[in-house]
Structure 1
Amino acid sequence: MTSAAHHSDEPRIPMPPLEYPALRKAVAVLVPSRLPELFEDMQQAFTWASERDSLAPVHLFHRKWGVIVAIERVPARAERFHSCERLVAQSEDPAERRAAALELAALLAEAGQEISA
């Protein structure tokens, strides 16, 4: 993969449906290191759904991982998201941390709109 392709605004994969099998496949392609986290979240969502007799935890699980996939599938967006995460965690400049946090919020909102479309 070339550097230009790595920083592309073009999605690496189409946005999958918000269903576990499709999200799992997308995570396996985009961020395979997060598959254990996806599986743990899925188990927790189903446990909570059973305990509460509600599908809300399952819907939240699908939404959370849909947002993650929406961010990660666009290389430039993923790179910016992770750069902002690092700034929030590591910068000693409060203004820089605040600006990065605001950009994270905007990227999350953009991804949320994408999965709601």
Structure 2
Amino acid sequence: MSTEPEHGGELIPRPERTPDALRVALARIAPHRLAEMEQQKNEAFSLAAEHDTLGPLHGWLNVWAREVEIERRYDLSTRRRSALEALHRTSDKADPAFRAAMDELRAVEDEAARAVSE
């Protein structure tokens, strides 16, 4: 698959917010993350069963809808990668570059969360 965006800055269209649709989308755009997704899904199911609540499943779905949104959008994935690279250049939490990178990561996640909640 080409790494160039196909849909105006999007690698793929936004998938439906279902476990199967998110898994298929992730397999297309970031297959190296499928094991991570599956592990977190299993943990969410275990917690849901243990505590007799759907909260962990909703949480898992929210996290992975946001992660797929970031991975599928060139702008968000580029911004996240740049912020992570900046964090690797400094470990000093007092460094303004550290704070700026953390703020950018939060902004990327917030933008993705807004996009998938529309």
TM > 0.5? yes
What residue is the counterpart of 2:18 in the other structure?
19
Once the two structures are superposed, residues 21-59 of structure 1 have per-residue CA deviations (whole angstroms, 9 ceiling, x without a partner) of: 011011101111010001101111111000010001000
If asked which structure has higher relative contact order (CA below 8 Å, sep 6+), I would say 1
Report the CA distance between 1:89 and its aligned residue.
3.2
Question: Are positions 1:116 and 2:107 aligned together?
Answer: no
State the percentage of identical aligned residues: 33
Deviates more, 1:87-96 or 1:68-77: 87-96
Map 1:71-82 → 2, pairs under 5 A: 71-82=70-81
Higher relative helix content:
1
Question: Are positions 1:96 and 2:97 aligned together?
Answer: yes
Which residues of structure 2 form unaligned runs of 5+? Answer: none
Report the CA distance between 1:110 and its aligned residue.
0.3
Question: What is the root-mean-square deviation of aligned Cα atoms in Å?
Answer: 1.8
The alignment of Structure 1 onto Structure 2 pairs a total of residues equal to: 114
Q: Secondary structure at the match of 1:54?
A: coil
Rounded Cα–Cα distance in structure 1 between residues aligned with 2:88 and 2:53: 35
Runs of 4+ in 1 over 6 A off after TM superposition: none
Which residues of structure 1 form unaligned runs of 5+? Answer: none
**TM-score with structure 1 setting the length:** 0.88
Once the two structures are superposed, residues 71-103 of structure 1 have per-residue CA deviations (whole angstroms, 9 ceiling, x without a partner) of: 111123202102201212332561111111111
Retained in 2: the 8 A contact 1:71–1:111? yes
Map 1:45-64 → 2, pairs under 5 A: 45-64=44-63
